């Protein structure tokens, strides 16, 4: 449990001395988002900066973020919970590949254990974050779920919103979709009252969501067909990690969790780098891994041999071979083809085959969105994120006193989220120690080449690459997908370097310093 109670605050709002006007409620730290990274950041600030006041703003009405929003059948993690769990609160359940409700419970219980649940303000959507250099503070303009608006200010802002648009998923326009007589649903917007048991289902897609949905629905549907335009790489692994089971027989849990966390993190980094360096050998390796799982007579090359190299897109995880078991017992099938048009009865393919369906699920992906769609303004100028350059994978050139949690694309999100929250606290301590109030990431010199922010060829990246920041070709502007290197840089590396400026902007004559939140009595 954390020590100190400085984070549970009643902030110093109310009338100011200047003309009796009310000034916005102020906190030292505001975290935007109450998902797995937002809760983790708030817990970290409570433990490492106990004297700082903190509020957590969540647009929705529940803790959990992705794990509360997505409610489609079978939702689960696509990485192990030793790395998706927090480094400060071990995952205790036996299953390393966990279902969505279990993860949501874990995040909620973590928030409760650290008192973060009391800091969350639900139904608070940040629509604009405005930085004022003279005041060294952020001014957040908020829309309330019940109607109306609110304004809060803070000295340090942590954006834990992820980079997906959770309001509007990617839904391509399918020809003839209006003709289909049954429901067409997107997993992100799954209707609670959807009746699909005992019916024929077609799932369109080839990513993690599609390979999760098919075996989950096949258990109760009449039949499920996975329709993909092109294959993706899949890998199988046990949902319960046998190494962890063996270690628990001889070692206390407090040793097993950090060991498994590092073991799996290093394994992911090594696998990623080797596959990127030797793509042809990686293709052959993945084939030898997966081909024995495929039912006899199944066309492996057509359905499981992608045109791209391994890790150009994320690998899809199949726990306990559930997809292949469904394909083997006939409750599910796979079709690799393109859609000609929807019909009244289902989908007509380019090959001339018609897939009959009662329900069509469009697992076609997500759209990217920075800062949950909020506008970022610095000293009166709206920031075009595409014109900024990432600094250490968590800050952006010209935007002061802000960090944004961006997880790994080749490993678990929380591995990076933990490091970002640690570094955030290091920055706060540095300003406290030096008496300064502002950090500002700098653009790299012209000699440092700019590169795309995300090095993936996934559709959701390619569709929105023009709205994303850039990264530099060298440290500290390079976004590394390498956990051990980030541990050295973010946990143990220098705070001061060529990519960031620390300053103490002076207040204009006659201006009043921003209020400081007053900790509540313990």
114 and 48 co-located in one domain = yes
pLDDT in tens, 91-100: 999 999 999 9
Whether 42 and 155 map to the same domain: the answer is yes
212 and 304 in one domain?
yes
Residue numbers of the domain that contains 320: 177-243+279-362
326-351 residue pLDDT tens: 999 999 999 999 999 999 999 999 99
Please write the tens of the pLDDT for every residue from 43-83: 999 999 999 999 999 999 999 999 999 999 999 998 999 99
What is the rounded CA–CA span in Å between residue 57 and residue 38? 9
How far apart, in whole angstroms, are the C-alpha atoms of residue 87 and residue 79?
15
Which one of 319, 341, 362 terminates a domain? 362
The pLDDT of residue 461 is 66
CB 409 within 8 A of CB 437: no
Q: How far is CA 320 from the centre of its chain?
A: 24
- Structural domain contains residue 260: no
Q: Which pLDDT score is estimated for 330?
A: 95
Q: Both tokens of residue 385?
A: 């994120």
Is a pLDDT exceeding 70 seen at residue 296?
Answer: yes
Residues 417 and 496 in one domain: yes
pLDDT band at 454 (very low <50, low <70, confident <90, very high): confident
170: its two tokens: 């990617």
Q: Are residues 232 and 341 located together in one domain of the fold? A: yes
Give the residue among 68, 150, 159, 96 at the shortest CA–CA distance from 399.
159
| Cβ neighbours of residue 79 closer than 8 Å, sequence gap 6 or more | 268, 317, 411, 412, 413
pLDDT at 10: 34
202-222 pLDDT, tens per residue?
Answer: 999 988 999 999 999 999 999
Greatest Cα pair distance, the chain, in angstroms, is: 82
Residue 496 belongs to a domain with what CATH number?
3.50.50.60
Instruction: Compute the average pLDDT of residues 107-131.
Output: 97
Whether residue 256 is contained in a domain is answered as no
Domain count, the chain: 2
Please indicate, yes or no, if residue 17 is contained in any of the structural domains: no
Q: Are residues 218 and 349 both part of a single domain?
A: yes
Residue 401 placed within a domain: yes
Residues 50, 5: contact at Cβ < 8 Å? Answer: yes
77, part of any domain: yes
Residue 18 has pLDDT above 70, yes or no: no
- Domain boundary at 362, 386, 407, which? 362
Identify whether 197 is part of a domain.
yes
How far is the C-alpha of 120 from the C-alpha of 251, rounded, in Å? 37
Q: DSSP H helical segments within 223-299, as ranges?
A: 242-248, 253-277, 279-290
Residue 419 scores a pLDDT above 80: yes
Would you say residue 309 lies in a domain?
Answer: yes
309 and 326 both lie in a single domain = yes
458 and 313 in a single domain? The answer is: no
Nearest Cα neighbor of 122 from 109, 108, 132, 110 is: 108
Claim to verify: residue 239 and residue 316 sit in the same structural domain? yes
517 pLDDT higher than 70 = no
- The backbone torsions φ and ψ at residue 147, rounded to the nearest 5 degrees and listed phi first, read 100, 150
- Angstrom distance (rounded) from CA 327 to CA 334: 8
Residue 353 and residue 407 in one domain: no
The overall average pLDDT reported for the chain is 89
Alpha carbon distance 184, 362 (integer Å): 7
| Confidence bin at 312 (pLDDT 50/70/90) | confident
Helix (H, G, I), strand (E, B) or coil at 15: strand
Q: Is residue 270 part of a domain?
A: no
**pLDDT digits 0-9 by tens, 234-278:** 999 999 999 999 999 999 888 999 999 999 999 999 999 999 999
Domain endpoint, select from 338, 362, 386: 362
């Amino acid at each position: 449990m954390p020590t100190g109670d400085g984070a549970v605050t009643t902030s110093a709002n109310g009338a100011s001395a200047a003309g009796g006007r009310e000034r916005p409620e102020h906190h030292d730290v505001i975290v935007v988002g109450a998902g797995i990274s937002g809760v983790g950041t708030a817990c970290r600030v409570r433990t490492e900066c106990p004297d700082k006041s903190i509020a957590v703003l969540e647009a929705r009405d529940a803790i959990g973020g992705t794990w509360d929003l997505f409610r489609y059948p079978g939702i689960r993690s696509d990485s192990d919970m030793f790395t998706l769990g927090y480094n400060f609160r071990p995952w205790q359940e036996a299953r390393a590949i966990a279902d969505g409700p279990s993860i949501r419970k874990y995040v909620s219980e973590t928030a409760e254990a650290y008192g973060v649940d009391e800091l969350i303000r639900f139904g608070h959507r940040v629509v604009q974050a405005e930085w004022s250099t003279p005041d060294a503070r952020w001014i957040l303009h908020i829309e309330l779920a019940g109607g109306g608006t609110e304004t809060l200010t803070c000295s340090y802002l942590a954006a834990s919103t992820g980079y997906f648009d959770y309001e509007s998923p990617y839904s391509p326009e399918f020809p003839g979709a209006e003709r289909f007589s049954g429901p067409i649903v997107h997993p992100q917007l799954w209707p609670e009252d959807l009746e699909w048991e005992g019916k024929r289902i077609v799932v369109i897609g080839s990513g993690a969501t599609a390979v999760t949905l098919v075996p989950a629905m096949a258990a109760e549907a009449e039949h499920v067909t996975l329709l993909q335009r092109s294959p993706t790489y899949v890998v199988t692994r046990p949902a319960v990690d046998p190494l962890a089971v063996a270690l628990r027989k001889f070692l206390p849990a407090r040793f097993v969790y950090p060991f498994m966390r590092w073991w799996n993190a290093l394994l992911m980094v090594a696998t990623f780098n080797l596959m990127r360096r030797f793509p042809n050998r990686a293709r052959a390796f993945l084939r030898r891994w997966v081909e024995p799982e495929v039912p006899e007579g199944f066309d492996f090359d057509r359905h499981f041999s992608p045109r791209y190299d391994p890790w150009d897109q994320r690998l899809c995880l199949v726990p306990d071979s559930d997809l292949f078991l469904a394909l083997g017992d006939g409750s599910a099938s796979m079709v690799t083809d393109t859609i000609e048009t929807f019909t009244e009865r289902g989908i007509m393919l380019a090959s001339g085959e018609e897939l009959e369906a009662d329900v069509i699920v469009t697992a076609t992906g997500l759209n990217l969105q920075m800062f949950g769609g909020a506008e970022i303004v610095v000293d009166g100028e709206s920031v075009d994120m595409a014109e900024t350059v990432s600094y250490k994978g968590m800050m952006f050139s010209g935007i002061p006193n802000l960090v944004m949690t961006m997880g790994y694309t080749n490993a678990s999100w929380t591995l990076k989220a933990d490091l970002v929250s640690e570094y955030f606290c290091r920055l706060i301590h540095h300003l406290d120690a030096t008496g300064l109030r502002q950090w500002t990431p700098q653009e790299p010199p012209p000699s440092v080449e700019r590169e795309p922010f995300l090095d993936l060829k996934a559709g959701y990246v390619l569709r929105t690459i023009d709205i994303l920041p850039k990264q530099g070709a060298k440290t500290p502007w390079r976004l590394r997908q390498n956990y051990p290197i980030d541990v050295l840089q973010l946990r143990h590396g220098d705070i001061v370097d060529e990519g960031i400026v620390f300053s103490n902007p002076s207040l204009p004559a006659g201006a009043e310093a921003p209020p400081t939140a007053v900790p509540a009595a313990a």
